Each structure stands twice: as C-alpha cells, then as structure tokens.
Structure 1
Amino acid sequence: MPNSVNQTDVLSTRPGSLFRFVARNLYVQVLLAMAIGITLGHYYPEIAAQMKPFGDGFIKLIKMTIGMVIFFTVVSGIAGMQSFGKVGKVGGIALLYFEIVSTIALLIGLVVANIIKPGESFNVDPAKLDASQIKQYVTAAQGNGLTDFFLNIIPKTLVGAFTSDSILSVVFVSILMGLVLGKIGDKGRPIRELVDACSHWIFGIINMIMRFAPIGAFGAMAFTVGKFGIASLQSLVVLISTFYLTAAIFVFVVLGAIGYWYGFSIFTVLRHFRSELVLVLATSSSDAALPALMRKLENVGCKPGTVGLVMPAGYVFNSDGTNIYITMAVLFIAQAMHVELTIWHQLMILGVATLTTKGSAGVPGAGFVSLVATLALVPEIPLVGVTMLLGIDRIISEGRALVNVIGNVVATLVIARREGEVGSNDLQLAMRTVTSD
C-alpha cells in the first residue's frame, strides 16, 4: 500500500513539475512554439502561411523599444565614463575588432565555397531567369551607398533619431547627450538619476513583451515552413548545408578561439544566452533579442557604456553571418552559371563585400540587399543570378541572424575584458551561475 501511494504521488507531481519547468524557461516555451509552427506548416501550409502577422507583430513590439533601450543605456554609461578619451578608446577598439573579424568571416565563406563548390552541379542560363523578382532589392542597394549611410547617421532632429530605422542615429544622439551630461557634473545628477530610473522602466516593458515571444516564434516558423516548404528547397540543399556548416566552424573555431584567448568559453556563452539565441533562430531577426542581450551582458559585469556602444554598433558593422553568406553566395552564383573567376576577381569581391555589408545596414532584407550590391559591382557575374536564392533566403536568414548575434555578444565580452571591466574568472562564474538557475 505505501508503494502505491508513493507511485501516485510521483505521478501527480510530475505534470505540475513539468508545467513549472516550462513556465520558468522562455527558451523551452519558444522551442515548443517552433515545433508547433513547423508541424502546422508541414501539414496545413495554407493556414500556416497566414500566421505571419504573429511573428511580424512580435518583432514590431521589440523594435518599438530598441531606440529607448539604447538611449537610456548609452546615456547612463557614457555619463559615467566622464571622458571623451574613454569613449573614443572603446569605440576605436570595437571598430578595429569588427573589421578584423568581419574580414575573417568573408574569407572563410570564400575559402569554403572554393573547396566545396556548392553551385558546380548547376547549369543555369541567365536568360531564363526573371529579373523582375529582384527589382526592389536593386533599388535598395542603389539608394544606400556609403556616403548616404554616414550622412543618415545624423538625424534631422534629436527626436527624429527615435522615429527612424537607424540604430546608429540613436547611438549618435545618445553619445552626445551622455558626454554633455558627464561634463556638467553635479548639475546633471538629477537627469542621470532620471535616466537610470527610466532604464528600469523600459526594461520592465521589455519583460512584459518577452512573454509573447513564443507566439512570435510560432507565427514566424509556421509562415516559413508553410510558405516555402521543405521540398522546394531540395535543389539548393547543398548551399544551405554548406552555409550552416561554415557558420558552425566560424562560431566554434574562430569565435571559440577568440573567447579562449580572452578567458571565456564559447560553450558557456551559448548556454547563458540560449533563450535569446533560440528567439533569434525562430524569428530570423537579431533585433528581437537586442534588449535582452544588453541587459544580460550588463548582468555578467560589462559596463553599460561598453554594452551601449559595442552591441548597437556591432549590429551595423559586425555582421559575421551575413559576411559568410555574401562571399559564399556570390561564388555559388558564379559556379552555377559557369563563370570563371580569377584570384583577382575574388579579391575584388572580398573588398567590395567589406563595404556593401556596412552600407546596407538598416535596410529591410539587409543580407539580400548586400548580396545584390556586391554583385552589382562585379560585372563578370550576371546580377539576375540572385533570383536563384530568393526561395532560400528566409531559411538562411535564420542562420545569418544567429551568427551575427553570437559574434556581437563575443565582441562585447572581448571589449569588456580588454577594458578590465570584468575578470576572466568572474565572467565565467557569472555566466555559469545564472545558467544553472
């Protein structure tokens, strides 16, 4: 009889324990939502394709807060630095880091595409491709040169920075206000206290919005599978597989080595930020996780000023996943159309891509716009060739966004370690402690 009671107690508590586990873990909720979305997309594609507004709505909720999150974080952090030199040093080191790692990502995509040759089995006639499908991307690529890119950083008004789609405009205004606030000393104390209070307020809003993350993940995943399906991607499965393999090599080898050099493990980073990474994977948007990433980076010891400078700037200047895809996709198109590229052609592609991946930042579909802009400057490869990749762009965009986010989290941790904001053991302990909760 006692055994029966014990078994009953165990059975009765398991559902409750499982429910509490799911309720406490956002990443588990998002994974379940993704599974439901994939199932719906596979069996009821027409219904699933109509779920897109759920994903889009969640992304819009997050985006409406990003400007305020960056503003309060950067103003508070820069005011605390109280030095133009400190801001310039952190920004300069970050930009140098971005350029080096981004170039490595471009090179890896180029090397892997030359070794595996994912487009070699294709025999594509450019005359049979429909160029009208890429008209919107060509227009976007032509209208966002580097000159326009840098000029657009300066908003028309201070308030206008928060109504535009440019993250850098908000960073620019925030740095100016933070520096002035730091210079005026005690007179600015009430404003700094207000900014700190508003920071807690905006993150409270973020916490509320994140409760809807599973719904957003469900909608985005259901739409992707329902709209494009699995069968339609089979002809390009080699390119998809090659990209994800290369992305994994970059994360675990390149970023792993960088993390090891600076005293932290890439595996610990992935575990600690797993909820945000799953959300990025589900929504194909790095924006969806930015506020939560910034808060977690501060929690492990990174200074608000460093986080506020490096993370938003990294979203523009350090798109490692996009860089891998650009060089790989360009070579794929050339191979599919049997266009012979010399070493000089490929070096030109590398140089062009270092510019186009920055110039298209902030543009909807930025990864694809960067690809179009790169090809437009390489006349040997027919621009119409990008139409072959329209069907898989959504699938690959998930991987691009994921690698972009991981790259920028690592960048922020590296800069924080270089500036002595957190020790190696303290950083590892902070991430492991929170991870195990």
Structure 2
Amino acid sequence: MIKEDKFSPKNSGVPTQNKFVRNLATYVFVAIALGILVGHFFPEIGIKTEFIGTWFLYVIEPLIQPLIFLTIIIGIANVGNIRRVGRLGFKTIVYFEVVTTLAMLSAIGMGFLLQPGKIDKNYLNIAEAGSYAVSNFNNDWLQFLVLNRPLLLLIVAVIIGLLLNVSEKKYKLVPRIEKFRAVLYRILMYVFYLIPFAAFSGMAYSVSKFGINSLLPLGKLVAATYITMALFIVVVFGLVLKRFKMSLWKFLISIKEEILVVFGTSSSRAAFPLIVAKLEKMGCGKLVTGFVVPLGYSFNLTGASIFLPMSVIFIAQLYDIPLLFTDIIFLLLVLTFTTKIASGIPGSGFIALSATLSILHKFPMEGLIFLFSIDKFMNEARTLTNFIGNAVAVLVISKLENDFVPNEEINISIDK
C-alpha cells in the first residue's frame, strides 16, 4: 500500500509516492498544452516565461548532484561481495557500448535512407543563429570536464563507496548518509511541485521564440531524427525487454509521469529521484539502480548517439560532401567519444555536435547555423530517448545480475 509522502531511512531514503506525484503526468500534460497555446496566441507573454524554467533547473541541479553522489556511495558501501561491483561495472559498460553503437549505426543507415539534408536551401534562414554557433563553443578539456561532471562524480563516489565498504565505521557512517539523502529527497519533492510551471515555461518560450514555422525548412531532419529514435525504442528496446520476458509498452506506461517530467523540463536529471524510486519499486536492486542510472548519464546516451550522426549526415548532404566508407568508420570512432559530452545537461547535445565537427574537419562549422534554430525540438527527442534507454538498462542489468524481484503492483512482464 502506498503511504502518503513518507521518507524512511530504512528504505534507503527513496521516497514513496504521494498524491501529487501519482497525478504528476496529468499536471505536466496540462501545463505543456497551456504552454503551446500561450506561445502560439500570446508570444510576447511566452517569451517572458523563460525565467521560470531556467530558475527551476538552477534550483534542482545543486540538489540532484549530491543525490546521485550519495546514491552511488550507499549502494556500493552496502554491497556484500566487493567483486560484484567490478562485475556489475563490466556488464554495464559492455551493454552501454553495444546499445549506443547500434544507435549510431541506425542513425547512419536512416540518414542515408531518408536523406534529411536533401532540401531546398533557399528557404533556410540563418540570420539569428550564426553568432551563437561559432562563438559559444570553446573546445578545451575544462569544458569537457564540466559537461561530464556526472562521470567525475561517479568515479569519486565509487572510490568513497569502496573505502566505506571495507571500513570498520561502515555501520555508523552509512545510516547517517542515508538519513542525509532522505532529507535531500524531501526537499526535492517540494521542489517537484514546481515541475508543471517549468514545463509550461519551456513550451511557451519555445513556441513563442521559434514557432511552428521554424520547423518547416528543416522539418525533414526533425522528422528523420524522431522516426529513427521512435523506431529504435520500439524495435531495439522492445526486443531487448522481450528477451527478458518484459513488455516495453507496459514499462512505458508505468513511467509516464517521469517521461512527461523529462519532456517538460528538457532534462533527464529532473526525473532522477522519481525514476530511481519507480525502478526500485518495480523490483530492481538498489545497487544496480543506484549504479547504472548515474553511469548512464555519460555512457548510455542513446538519443545523443542517434542525433549526432544524423546531424553530421544532414550537414554532409546539405553541402554535397561525399562520405566514403573510411569516413563512416572515422565518424563512428569520433562519436564514441563526443557522445560522452552530451551528459544530460540541456543544450549539451549541441555542444557535442560542435566538438564532433571540429574534430572531423571535413565538415564546415557553418553547418551548425542551420541546426541551432531547431535544437530545442531535437533536444526533447534525444533527452527522452536517453532517459528511456537508461531506464531499460537498469531492468536489463538487474535481470543479468539476478537482482530483480517483480512487484505485482507494477507488473511489466509479458502475459503468458
């Protein structure tokens, strides 16, 4: 039975769902619909709402980072066999690399099939985007580290967790960390009451600033990207879950609240506490959930792995640049690294694309100009795909680790 808004250290600080969270999907859906209406009919008001979504992300980011940090520490500190952490890490990385490679290959294949760059260039308006595309990217290691701070947090948290695991003070320190994490969860749940307002702001601002007309010239690229991501979710993730006797459709329905939160805020981190609680409630082990989800922010960005090669192929077709087989191989090698830049931060996918083009050299950086005006719409798709991919990964790794105990209340198994 679901209790009302309780936080218990015995449950490792994972919140149970209160009435607001259980109805969050409805609230966010209504907020998004209102945002579209305001942005379309009252654009001057929609533009002014941008600060709400920006402020929400500024508030939630300092809470999410320590929450991820503590979740990893607690999970590793509580594991009985320390060798399991190494085994878990190996399985997770291998799974991530296989899935993201398949995503990149799918994007390249669909790019050549759909040819999104074969459009009438006379209809492209590049006036507003030019200065941003060239000046806002500084290709240095400091920026790479800043964008990949989830990866750095993961490394430090794993080290601390391992030290705590073998420490004699483990049974005194870990409960205190769990209590502190429970406090962060409580604070976050109050902040989550603002999610519908953030979703409204993001949609109202986007529609007001860019409008539906901005999609028309580059609509082929947007459509190709959305189709590829949708097919990848349905086909690849669907087959993967079916292999483990689970239904993709039931799973997506069960995380509809979290999906709408990600869509409304354009950030997968905003739903981190919710998806951790939901996956654990489904029956996934706490260690697997706390380890795989944060690691996925840097290594399992399926959406970015589709968006980046699709965009590169778009630019190649736009400028009539021939792509040889050796170019495709080199592109895959470069993307293996640059996809790690798009670490769940809104807009980081565009920076990752800048890094990719700057390394490849063969493609003009001016091609970014055409993509900037639609990046907001592309970001929604790649963030959602990243999020769903990470959630599926937790289910798969939990199954592989024999650390999944099905919950009858949230049944995602395939009916016999």
2:156 alignment partner, one of 151, 158, 173: 173
Aligned pair 1:395/2:377, yes or no?
yes
Residue in 2 that maps onto 1:143: 140
Shift of 1:62: 2.0
1:31 aligns with 2:32: no
Q: Distance in 2 between matches of 1:288 and 1:332?
A: 30
Q: Report what 1:254 is aligned to.
A: 236
In structure 2, the residue matched to 1:11 is none
- Gap change, CA 1:324 and 1:411, over 3 Å in 2: same
Alignment size in residue pairs: 393
Establish whether residue 377 from structure 1 lines up as the match of residue 330 from structure 2. Answer: no
Q: Which residue is 2:67 aligned to?
A: 69
Quote how far apart the aligned CAs of 1:280 are. 0.9
2-structure distance, mates of 1:137, 1:271: 39
What's the counterpart of residue 96 of structure 1?
94
**The structure with more radius of gyration:** 1
- In 2, distance between residues paired with 1:363 and 1:232? 23
1:316 corresponds to 2:292 = no
Worse overlay, 408-417 or 354-363 = 354-363
Tell me the alpha carbon deviations over residues 83-117 of structure 1, each in whole angstroms, 9 at most, x when there is no partner: 43111111111111111100111111100010010
TM-score between the two structures when normalised by the length of structure 2: 0.88
Question: Structure 1 CA distance, aligned partners of 2:343 and 2:122?
Answer: 30
Name whichever of 361-370 and 90-99 sits farther off. 361-370
The two structures, once aligned, show a CA RMSD in angstroms of 2.5
Residue 118 (structure 2) pairs with residue 120 (structure 1): yes
- 1:367-411, Cα deviation, whole Å (9 max, x unpaired): 111111111222332121111011000011001100000000001
Shift of 1:144: 3.6
CA contact under 8 A between 1:76 and 1:195: conserved in structure 2?
A: yes
Of 422, 433, 437, which aligns to 2:404?
422
Worse overlay, 204-213 or 106-115 = 204-213
**1:422 aligned counterpart, secondary structure:** coil
Aligned equivalent of 1:157: none
Offset of residue 269 of structure 1? 1.6
Distance 1:84 1:309 in 2: 14
Partner AA of 2:235 in structure 1: V
Which residue identity is paired with 1:331? I
Name the structure 1 match of 2:222: 240
Name 1:55's counterpart in structure 2. Answer: 53
Alignment match of 2:263 (pick from 276, 281, 295) = 281
> 1:303 aligns to what?
285
Q: 1:212 aligns with which of 191, 194, 199?
A: 194
Give the aligned residue type for 1:143: D
**2:274 aligned residue (292, 303, 308):** 292
Residue aligned with 1:277, SS: helix
For the Cα contact (< 8 Å) 1:213–1:279, is it kept in 2? yes
Q: Is 2:165 the counterpart of 1:182? A: yes
Q: Percent identity, please.
A: 33
Question: Aligned pair in 2 of structure 1 residues 359, 27: CA closer, same or farther (>3 Å)?
Answer: closer
Contact 1:123/1:338, CA 8 A, preserved across alignment:
no
Corresponding residue number in structure 2 for 1:14: none
TM-superposed CA distance for 1:343, in Å, is 2.1
In the other structure, the counterpart of 1:78 is: 76
Whole-angstrom distance in 2 between the partners of 1:42 and 1:363: 27
Q: Which AA in structure 1 matches 2:40?
A: H
3-state DSSP class of the match of 1:406? helix
Question: Given that residues 137 and 372 in structure 1 are in contact (C-alpha distance below 8 angstroms), is that contact kept between their aligned partners in structure 2?
Answer: no
Return the structure number with greater helix share: 1
Q: Which amino acid aligns with 2:118?
A: E
Bigger mean CA offset, 270-279 vs 114-123: 114-123
1:431 aligns with 2:407: no
CA distance in 2, matches of 1:336, 1:220: 30
AA at the equivalent of 2:30: L
For 1:193 and 1:379, locate their aligned partners in 2 and report how far apart those are by CA, in whole Å: 52
Alpha-carbon contact 1:82-1:183 (below 8 Å) kept: no
Letter paired with 1:408: N
Which residue identity is paired with 1:348? F
Q: Is the 8 A contact 2:349 2:379 kept in 1?
A: yes
Q: State the SS of the aligned residue for 1:431.
A: coil
- 274-283 or 167-176, which deviates more: 167-176
State whether residues 82 and 179 of structure 1, in contact with CA within 8 Å, keep that contact through their aligned partners in structure 2.
no
* Aligned equivalent of 1:193: 175
TM-score by length of 1: 0.84
CA–CA distance in structure 1, aligned partners of residues 324 and 271 of structure 2 = 40
Give the letter for the 2:131 counterpart.
S
Please give the alpha-carbon distance, in whole angstroms, between the structure 1 residues aligned to 2:184 and 2:317.
Answer: 49
Equivalent residue for 2:323, pick from 323, 328, 341: 341
Instruction: Label 1:299 to 1:198 Cα distance change in 2 as closer, same or farther (>3 A).
Output: farther
The one-letter code of the counterpart of 1:118 is P
- 1:212 offset after TM fit, Å? 1.1
Read off the aligned partner of 1:286 and give its amino acid letter.
S
Distance 2:123 2:327 in 1: 21
Name the aligned partner's letter for residue 216 of structure 1: A
| Residue identity in the other structure for 2:108 | L
